[in-house]
Amino acid sequence: MSKIGIPVPKGRSAASASEAKKIAEEIGKPCVVKAQVWATAVQGRGIKFAKSAAEAEAAANALIGAEIKA
């Protein structure tokens, strides 16, 4: 979308729920928390929407260690 002039925020990676909260605080707007698994036996992703930094932290906590299926 950015190639045709639609503004798209850059993605950021977090290794923990607290890091996801910090990134969401820096963004200062609603965001999406996404977990992706690339293992030989399973591939998939989990996506949660967050309206605040606290919601982003809770979403990351829910996704970390969750069973994700394609």
pTM of the model: 0.74
Q: Is residue 43 part of a domain?
A: yes
Q: Is residue 53 part of a domain?
A: yes
Query: Cα separation of 49 and 2, whole Å?
Result: 21
pLDDT in tens, 25-56: 999 999 999 887 665 555 567 889 999 999 99
Q: Is residue 2 part of a domain?
A: no
By CB neighbour count within 10 A (0-12 exposed, 13-18 middle, 19+ buried), where does 24 fall? buried
Task: Give the sign of the dihedral formed by CA 54, CA 22, CA 11, CA 64.
Answer: negative
pLDDT reported for residue 68: 60
pLDDT reported for residue 63: 86
Number of domains in the chain: 1
Q: Is residue 8 part of a domain?
A: no
57, 24 contact by CB (below 8 A): yes
Range of the domain at 41: 31-70
Q: Find all residues with CB under 8 Å of 22, minimum gap 6, and list them.
A: 14, 53
